[in-house]
Amino acid sequence: MIINHPLLGPRDAAEFVYLGDASLIDRPDWQSDTAADDFYEYQYLRDNPAGETRELWFHEQGDRSWLVVTRNTLTHEITKVELARDVALAAGRDR
């Protein structure tokens, strides 16, 4: 698989480390009343979709940036690659 890095251009997926679903960016609020349940779901449960999914890849053997990659789990086709930082900022996070 080739990941089209927004800053570095096309890179071999072997340069990256895979983390998982991009929803891992949305860490639950640890002060919420339901924090224990929220963290259980955040940490252990997965949508595990068959088809298009957004996921986090870390460019460990490159510029060490986190990317949000939109990829199809049935075909391995990659349709979109964004910097995770941009995704987090757009979602209202401060970094």
Partner 1 sequence: MKYSGWKVLRQALGGNKGWEPVWRDPAPKPAYDIIVVGGGGHGLATAYYLAKEYGLTNVAVLEKSWLASGNAGRNTTIIRSNYLLPGNEPFYELSMKLWENLEQDFNYNAMVSQRGVVNLYHSDPQRDAFARRGNAMHMAGADAVLLDEQGIRELCPFLDFDNARFPVKGGLWQPRGGTARHDAVAWGYARGADQRGVDLIQNCEVTGFQVKNGRCIGVETARGPIAAKKVAVCVAGSSGRVMAQAGLRLPIESHVLQAFVSEGLKPIIPGVVTFGAGHFYISQSDKGGLVFGGDIDGYNTYAQRGNLPVVEDVCESGMALMPMIGRARLLRMWGGVMDMSMDGSPFIDKTSVDGLYFNGGWCYGGFKATPASGWCYAHLLAKDEPHPVATELRLDRFKRGHMIDEKGAGAQPNLH
| Nearest residue (CB) to partner 1, 55 versus 82 | 55
Output the smallest distance, CB 80 to partner 1, in A.
Answer: 16
Q: How far is 58 from 46, CA to CA, in rounded Å?
A: 19
| Nearest residue (CB) to partner 1, 14 versus 90 | 14
Output the smallest distance, CB 22 to partner 1, in A.
Answer: 11
Residue with tokens 């060490």: 64
**Residues in the site for partner 1, rule: CB under 8 A?**
1, 12-14, 18-21, 37, 40-41, 43-50, 53, 55, 71, 73-76
CA-to-CA dists, residue 7 to 17, 45, 64, 68, angstroms: 17, 32, 12, 13
Q: How far is 95 from 89, CA to CA, in rounded Å?
A: 6
Output the smallest distance, CB 79 to partner 1, in A.
Answer: 15
Cβ-contact 53, 69 below 8 angstroms: no
| Nearest residue (CB) to partner 1, 80 versus 89 | 80
